[in-house]
Amino acid sequence: MWPWGHAAVGYLLYTAYRRSRFDLRPHGVAVVALAVGTQLPDLIDKPLAWQFAVLPNGRSFGHSLLIAAALLVALWLVARRFDARESVAAFGIGYIGHLFGDALYPALAGEFHYVGFLGWPLIPAIEYELATGGFLDHLFALDLGPLALFELGLTVVAAALWYRHELPGLGVLVPGYGESTPEERPE
Ligand SMILES: [Zn+2]
């Protein structure tokens, strides 16, 4: 999936979680944590595999459910002390959503061998056709077919929803930009 596809999936999942659990829309710093979670697996694996050759490929350490579980448990324990559980929940939804987003296409195509990254390192690293090269090599090798259009559509829907929710999270990054509290505007 492209980065914006991951961001869109994360926002849609988190919106569904907030609505079903609290009947509220996404809000504040948790949305920033969500955004980080949606991109972190690639930010870990791609540079370490493609640029520094520390990892076997661009879907290994950061794309493993085992590593993700350990990371999320550790973050949850810290979050309990700092009253940051909502942010960790959002981060976790974004992170796990990324992993399943990457697993979706091979699973739909019946290529379950390519879903094995979820079990790394218990399941050996997948041998991809394009195992070496820099960012641009991988960028130009990406598919621009119907799936890319599907992700673009998903991104438009998620961006429209984010706009409708008064751009939550933006106020954390852009000081002075205010959004009304979720208590003022329940979903
Ligand atoms: Zn990924």
Ligand 1 mean position, distance from CA 73 (Å): 21
pLDDT tens-place string over residues 84-107: 999 999 999 999 999 999 999 999
Residues with CB under 5 A from ligand 1 (ion): 41-42, 102
- Is 98 a member of any domain? yes
Ligand 1 mean position, distance from CA 26 (Å): 23
* Average confidence (pLDDT) over 127-155: 73
- Is 109 a member of any domain? yes
Ligand 1 mean position, distance from CA 162 (Å): 22
Q: How many domains does the chain have?
A: 1
Ligand 1 mean position, distance from CA 126 (Å): 14
- Is 174 a member of any domain? no
Give the integer Cα–Cα distance in Å for 93 and 72. 10
**Among candidates 154, 153, 184, which has minimal Cα distance to 27?**
184
- Is 183 a member of any domain? no
Q: Which residue has the tokens 């979903």?
A: 187
Are 26 and 168 in contact by the 8 Å Cβ rule? The answer is yes
- Is 85 a member of any domain? yes
Q: Name every residue whose Cβ is closer than 8 Å to that of residue 8 and which is 6 or more positions away in sequence.
A: 151, 154, 155, 157, 158, 159
CA distances from 108 to 15, 96, 103 (A): 24, 18, 9
- Is 122 a member of any domain? yes
pLDDT tens-place string over residues 40-89: 999 999 999 888 888 888 899 999 999 999 999 999 999 999 989 999 99
Percent of the chain topping pLDDT 70:
86
- Is 182 a member of any domain? no
pLDDT band at 168 (very low <50, low <70, confident <90, very high): very high
Which structural domain range is residue 122 located in? 3-166
- Is 155 a member of any domain? yes
Q: Name every residue whose Cβ is closer than 8 Å to that of residue 56 and which is 6 or more positions away in sequence.
A: 49, 125
Of residues 179 and 184, more confidence is placed in 179
